[in-house]
Amino acid sequence: MLKIYNTLTGKKEEFHPIVPGKVGMYVCGNTVYDFCHIGHARAMISFDIISRFLRHVGYELNYVRNITDVDDKIIKRAAENNESTESLTQRMIAAQVEDELKLGNKMPDREPRATEFIQEIIDLIEILVEKGFAYQGSTGDVYYRASAFKEYGKLNNRKLEDMLAGARIDVEIAKEHPADFVLWKTVKEGEVFWTSPWGNGRPGWHIECSAMSISCLGPHFDIHGGGPDLKFPHHENEIAQSEAATGQQLANVWMHCGPVRVNNEKMSKSLGNFFTVRDVLAKYNPEIVRFLMVSSQYRSAIDYSEDSLLESKVGLERLYNALKGQDKTEEYSKSEFSIRFEDAMNDDFNTPVALSVLFDLVRELNKAKADDEQLAATLAKELSVLSELLGLLQQEPEYFLQNSVLTDGLTAEEIEAFIQERTQARKDKNFARSDEIRDELASRGVELLDSREGTSWTRC
């Protein structure tokens, strides 16, 4: 039985979908004003793995992840770039898809964009105004009346007054209360806008997700997820808006992945420890980044560092070396390893324990290689199948082992050229040059492996 930690209740619970056999899952996606960073990668990979396992155990999953394509940050960045908001968001969406596919993710079933749901947003705000949960302030902006929703704060298990004491909340004269938040913003000169009953303007951030989730999955669905920074105020406000409008509980289960820290510090541009996915993939094979994310349970914090990436590289190489040269056509046969793997994933998607099962499987596979070719092939197939649920071992072993790290900028072609020169030097009995090449490659992180079949290499 699958158990999931529910942020709303603060405990692990047995998962029972609203409709047996079917799951609706909404995950808050990115505001597309810049390239994805490694914190985004954490959330993307976490919910990709969750979606893979839900499907693996037989659920018919509808995975929806939104795109925020109108927002203060987008408008500001577009103005700085002297381009339209549409041009900026289209570029960033394309870049996000490229990054995500490189990281080995499968795309969600649906990716609604906020600008496609303006009428639904307006309709939702009108309902809130009619019910007394929203009002138009003196500046023309429309605000949600937080004090009108008696359960405000239930996701974070705090009272409204307590949340105000420790939170940064904009104080505006037009607001009735400091905790009230904007649903519709009056247009400013030069900004993108839409017409509404409250004048020309655009939606606030929080109402966008309420409209999109209800439109795509209905007023009551199974799982709502997102990053750790969304718990308050974004998700708290989503609950307040949606449930006030529909009279139904928005989501049964709320899931939040943990933060990414860099050398045990919060990632921040001001600290100079901010890394985009593209920064990292310029040096490391994408599966190494994925392995790092999988090595911690999705709710735990991850420490991103060169050391942690190198540890992930070593672990992943061990898995790939076990598969190297193995027959991949064998039929999948479920053994105790599969059972243990599924038990770990059923325990709130415990990927570190699932990984430990893979390493136990590798030990048996390596033993079988020596004296039981059939068993080795069966175990290799099982390793491939289980790893795929984590999005790992998706490359040819030889390719990964030669391209795990782009050491000193050496390409595979350049390394092969060095090997050819060394092979010729050995034929010419120029052993001094042969040793020079070996030492040169070793100093640049490339290890040569000589055998009867020739010379192969790996990055070290």
Q: Which amino acid is at 133?
A: F
Q: Contact 334/382 with Cβ under 8 angstroms?
A: yes
- Strand-pair partners of 442: none
36 among the known binding-site residues?
Answer: no
Neighbours of 237 (CB within 10 A): 24
Q: Within 13 A of 347's CA, how many CA atoms are on the CB side?
A: 12
Helix (H) or strand (E) holding 210: helix 205-217
269 among the known binding-site residues?
Answer: yes
Q: Contact 297/350 with Cβ under 8 angstroms?
A: yes
Q: Contact 251/154 with Cβ under 8 angstroms?
A: no
| CB-based burial label for 311 (10 Å; 0-12, 13-18, 19+) | middle
**Cα(308)–Cα(293) distance, rounded to whole angstroms?**
10
> Residues 6 or more apart from 161 whose CB is under 8 A from it?
none
3-class SS at 37? strand
Say which residue the tokens 């997820």 belong to. 225
238 among the known binding-site residues?
Answer: yes
3-class SS at 318? helix
> Residues 6 or more apart from 251 whose CB is under 8 A from it?
8, 26, 220, 221, 222, 223, 224
120 among the known binding-site residues?
Answer: no
Q: Contact 250/224 with Cβ under 8 angstroms?
A: yes
**Cα(391)–Cα(384) distance, rounded to whole angstroms?**
10
**Cα(190)–Cα(349) distance, rounded to whole angstroms?**
47
Helix (H) or strand (E) holding 23: strand 22-27
3-class SS at 197? coil
16 among the known binding-site residues?
Answer: no
**Cα(120)–Cα(102) distance, rounded to whole angstroms?**
34
Give whole-number Cα distances, 54 to 12, 43, 309, 346, 436, in Å.
17, 16, 28, 9, 53
Annotated binding site for Zn(2+): 28, 209, 234, 238
Annotated binding site: 28, 209, 234, 238, 269
Annotated binding site for ATP: 269
